[in-house]
Amino acid sequence: MAKSHHSAREDTHFGEKTVPLADKQGLVDDVFHSVAHRYDLMNDLMSGGLHRAWKDALVTAVNPPKGDRDFHLLDLAGGTGDVAFRVVEAGGAGTRVTVCDINADMLAVGRERARERGHDEAVTFEQGNAEELLYADRRFHCVTIAFGIRNVPRIERALSEAYRVLRIGGRFLCLEFSAVTVPGIDALYELYSFNVIPRIGAAVTGDREAYQYLVESIRKFPRPERFADMIRAAGFRRVSFTPMTAGVVALHSGWKL
């Protein structure tokens, strides 16, 4: 049989740079290690508070039960717990959230916030890689990931893992930056992303490069139609997406049926 002469090394994007796939996670971890203590403030500053409305739309779609019916959500790449707290506050006594994130610094900020808000019973923070979850099959009623999937080196693996740990009838919801297609707004958005965000990042966190990466990673993320195909390829059904704020963000949805 003819031997392939291709190198076994796989490359991927880290912002605008091309890096070995195996190196991306470490670089992403450095970014979130550096910004963890200012992460929530930066979200408000960068999005002008809009991230709250986007997360509200996600929570509305999660639709946790208001009563004491058992409902267990897995929030992947859940960082400092923002989505988890909103879901617990929207749901009833049976609503619990497991936040899974690879970064110990983001989780530490999240645990502290949970204590301050009295959510330390309902929300659990666990360190883990979205590509290789340590949870049993069909454990969760719903799986969410907000602004996390574009940081994961092997997106397909994270999608199959989300599918595996979901119960039959459960829903996967993913909030992610998307593609602005409204003429005029697209140019303004580019200008804002590449000129303003890294400057705010430098002023607030002292790490301009981290925010340069974050805006570049948005540009490299697949367009929503292609990402919806990836969700379908992981096994999900009734796959759809809803663009918000002229396409700055999209809420993707798929069901395990």
Which residues are at the interface with ligand SAM (CB under 6 A)? 25, 28, 32, 77-79, 82-83, 101-103, 106, 129-131, 146-148, 151-152
Smallest distance, ligand SAM to C-beta of residue 209, A: 15
Report the residue number whose CB is nearest to ligand SAM.
79
Report which of 54, 1, 19, 64 is spatially closest to residue 177, judged by C-alpha positions.
Answer: 54
Closer to ligand SAM by CB, 53 or 93: give it.
53
Smallest distance, ligand SAM to C-beta of residue 188, A: 22
Tokens of 6: 């291709």
Strand partners, 97: 73, 123
Q: How many CB atoms lie within 10 A of CB 238?
A: 10
Closer to ligand SAM by CB, 42 or 231: give it.
42
Radius of gyration (Cα) for the chain, nearest Å?
18
Closer to ligand SAM by CB, 79 or 198: give it.
79
Smallest distance, ligand SAM to C-beta of residue 55, A: 7
Give the chain's length.
257
Smallest distance, ligand SAM to C-beta of residue 3, A: 33
Q: Percent helix, strand, coil in the chain (nearest 5)?
A: 50, 25, 30
**Helices and strands in the chain: count of H runs, count of E runs:** 10, 9
Closer to ligand SAM by CB, 106 or 250: give it.
106
Residue type, 146: A
Smallest distance, ligand SAM to C-beta of residue 158, A: 7
Report which of 239, 241, 84, 236 is spatially closest to residue 178, judged by C-alpha positions.
Answer: 241
Closer to ligand SAM by CB, 77 or 88: give it.
77
